[in-house]
Chain A
């Protein structure tokens, strides 16, 4: 999140400038107490996870669930499992980077490589078999 002009009059305003948070700690895993279970957490405003699997399990899973099947309450998180919308790799790339309706944009919080990794993971798991991997160049192309 670049905090691009997000209004900070919001109720939960954490009141931290982006600059003041750009500390270069390693991911949180240290600890003096009993060992902290995996996964390690990101520090700062960008995701620290790198593999598609880790990125999915720590971000996408929050809404699309661990089996990729989504969930329904008063609204729905769509299933990514066996999803023919993923056939054209550019579509999920664009959604992850720019967001779409209830799906937040993650472009500012992930590198091109990270976006490509998580999209390739989703397109080859949960019953999807799209073997034409997307590249970080594909990601760069959809960044607005």
Chain B
């Protein structure tokens, strides 16, 4: 990084333009493929036709399993659910004060958050286009509130840039956009874009760059009240004497480029992260709990599935109870919807064809670690005017996410102090004891918010490979693995069909779990009524 030249050359500029038009072209392609629109949900499922008392055994009471349970019972099936945990929801999970959690290996943590404060160790945000999940929230009475993905006043931070001083997202975003606009305007004026842009469009382009980039009358991006309207001021406009605004100095383009902070701007542009995003009021597990109010009577908790067999007459599932692990029990049904994550299912003996078994074995699970930290006061609001949203950093903690609720309140607050995902650091944090994970999250976070040192209260860390009911965060599909195995994973094999996040093209989203389940039971029901 230090070897880079200090000047932005014309080649850099062209690379930038290329990147810009390239991503626009990609966006267009994605839209026409349907990726960038809604998730494909067609409204509440209608399973018509009489299943004539057919029975279904559902394995796993996560969102995929409970969606299947709810809809299949409604359609007239005799439904039972086997669930390993003593609660419903699976990865849809919230930790609050008093909750305790024992990870694989035996470390036990008890959450010491204050009443009303929580952390979502798994899913935490819902895009507005996840229509199936939103529809279930509506039907099941789950109240939503905004999840703030972009807060202009949160930070972008790189350990090796700006002497380690975090930069406001607003400054980087505005100054990057402004200076790129200025370069483009210059290139246009110098006739460099004549071949690419018609004369008529060039004039409009100049106007657009001025408007979009906060350029002045000479198409320059500078410290003045025009850029100040976008990036804020060194001294903001006030009232009375001495209230005149003073513009701030933009961050130099070359420094922005070399800092790599621009790469985080994607997190505010990607379709999955665009406004409006939501979170359930009170914690993500409000969704799992709402499902469990509907189907909880069908669930047998503490049932660890150890074997899945089938023949032409039905399905036999072997499971154990925590009280009597040595005494296997059996449950039988005509059909089986299995939503056990592949990280676990790949280890169980299961009577399915070679192709489905190969698919079950083909998907390793991502590493991810989330750490919740409670502080004695909401210093990010009080001292730094950061209300919700996310700061991004290249420190191993990667993100610091501020609570999107309880704004401006006195008293303690909980923030997400780390959200690691894949890559070496996620494995390294998984290998630590929970106490060490929390200690390091506090240590790293203090480089962005020095208040950590005095305000830290307590914390809790969840490393997903150590979560006993998941053994990983989510299926890590490659394009090659999808091409070879995805269809084989989703086919009905005799009397067994798989569902869950892993059987979707929306990996690691709850929407994927629900859509996969709706598709699986639609095909299963079709087979049952046609039999």
Cβ of B157 < 8 Å from any Cβ of A?
A: no
Cβ of B243 < 8 Å from any Cβ of A?
A: no
Are A58 and B123 in contact, with the CB atoms below 8 A? no
Are A12 and B368 in contact, with the CB atoms below 8 A? yes
Given contacts A13-B272, A15-B267, A28-B395, contact A104 B367 (CB under 8 A): yes
**Cβ-neighbour of B447 out of A11, A25, A33, A100 (below 8 A):** A33
Within 8 A of B (CB), among A1-57: 1, 4-7, 9-17, 20-21, 23-25, 28, 30-34, 36-37, 39, 41-48, 57
Within 8 A of A (CB), among B359-373: 361, 364-368
User: How close is A41's CB to chain B, nearest CB, in angstroms?
Assistant: 5
**Cβ-neighbour of A101 out of B346, B469, B506 (below 8 A):** B346
Q: Which residues of A contact B95 (CB under 8 A)?
A: none
User: How close is A99's CB to chain B, nearest CB, in angstroms?
Assistant: 5
Q: Which residues of B contact A45 (CB under 8 A)?
A: 423-424
Contact residues of A with B, CB < 8 Å?
A: 1, 4-7, 9-17, 20-21, 23-25, 28, 30-34, 36-37, 39, 41-48, 57-63, 65-66, 71-77, 99-105, 109
Are B473 and A12 in contact, with the CB atoms below 8 A? yes
CA distance A21 to B395 in the complex (A): 12
CA distance A53 to B109 in the complex (A): 27
Cβ of B9 < 8 Å from any Cβ of A?
A: no
Within 8 A of A (CB), among B441-499: 443-444, 446-447, 450, 453, 463, 465-474, 476-480, 482
Within 8 A of A (CB), among B411-441: 419, 421-425, 427-428, 430-431, 436, 439-440
Q: Which residues of B contact A74 (CB under 8 A)?
A: 84, 304-305, 340, 344, 468-471
User: How close is B59's CB to chain A, nearest CB, in angstroms?
Assistant: 11
Are A10 and B471 in contact, with the CB atoms below 8 A? no
Given contacts A37-B440, A101-B346, A109-B424, contact A62 B477 (CB under 8 A): no
Given contacts A39-B428, A42-B428, A104-B365, contact A1 B423 (CB under 8 A): yes
Are A9 and B507 in contact, with the CB atoms below 8 A? yes
Q: Which residues of B contact A102 (CB under 8 A)?
A: 342-344, 346-347, 364-365, 471-472
CA distance A24 to B106 in the complex (A): 37
Q: Which of B176-184, B196-204, B258-266 contacts A (4 or more CB under 8 A)?
A: B258-266
Are B264 and A15 in contact, with the CB atoms below 8 A? yes
User: How close is A88's CB to chain B, nearest CB, in angstroms?
Assistant: 21
User: How close is A68's CB to chain B, nearest CB, in angstroms?
Assistant: 12
User: How close is B362's CB to chain A, nearest CB, in angstroms?
Assistant: 8
Contact residues of B with A, CB < 8 Å?
A: 1, 35, 84, 104-106, 123, 159-160, 164, 260, 263-264, 266-267, 270, 272-273, 304-305, 340, 342-344, 346-348, 361, 364-368, 394-396, 398, 419, 421-425, 427-428, 430-431, 436, 439-440, 443-444, 446-447, 450, 453, 463, 465-474, 476-480, 482, 505-509
CA distance A105 to B304 in the complex (A): 27
Are A31 and B447 in contact, with the CB atoms below 8 A? yes
Q: Which residues of B contact A59 (CB under 8 A)?
A: 424, 427-428, 431
Are A9 and B35 in contact, with the CB atoms below 8 A? yes
**Cβ-neighbour of A11 out of B123, B395, B398, B505 (below 8 A):** B123
CA distance A138 to B293 in the complex (A): 56
Q: Which residues of A contact B394 (CB under 8 A)?
A: 21, 23, 43
Given contacts A24-B1, A61-B431, contact A75 B463 (CB under 8 A): no
Are B471 and A15 in contact, with the CB atoms below 8 A? no
User: How close is A37's CB to chain B, nearest CB, in angstroms?
Assistant: 7
User: How close is B468's CB to chain A, nearest CB, in angstroms?
Assistant: 3
User: How close is B515's CB to chain A, nearest CB, in angstroms?
Assistant: 13
Residue of B nearest to A28 (CB): B396
CA distance A104 to B481 in the complex (A): 13
User: How close is B30's CB to chain A, nearest CB, in angstroms?
Assistant: 10
Given contacts A7-B507, A33-B453, contact A25 B424 (CB under 8 A): no
- Most A Cβ at <10 Å: residue of B340, B398, B476: B476
Q: Which residues of B contact A25 (CB under 8 A)?
A: 1, 159-160
User: How close is A5's CB to chain B, nearest CB, in angstroms?
Assistant: 4
Are A12 and B466 in contact, with the CB atoms below 8 A? no
Q: Which residues of A contact B424 (CB under 8 A)?
A: 41-42, 44-48, 59, 109
Are A23 and B346 in contact, with the CB atoms below 8 A? no
User: How close is B499's CB to chain A, nearest CB, in angstroms?
Assistant: 17
Residue of A nearest to B421 (CB): A12
Q: Which residues of B contact A9 (CB under 8 A)?
A: 35, 272, 505-507
Given contacts A41-B424, A73-B469, contact A20 B260 (CB under 8 A): yes
Q: Which residues of B contact A5 (CB under 8 A)?
A: 478-480
User: How close is A22's CB to chain B, nearest CB, in angstroms?
Assistant: 9
User: How close is B144's CB to chain A, nearest CB, in angstroms?
Assistant: 17
Are A10 and B428 in contact, with the CB atoms below 8 A? no
Are B364 and A103 in contact, with the CB atoms below 8 A? yes
User: How close is B380's CB to chain A, nearest CB, in angstroms?
Assistant: 18
CA distance A1 to B367 in the complex (A): 12
CA distance A20 to B262 in the complex (A): 10
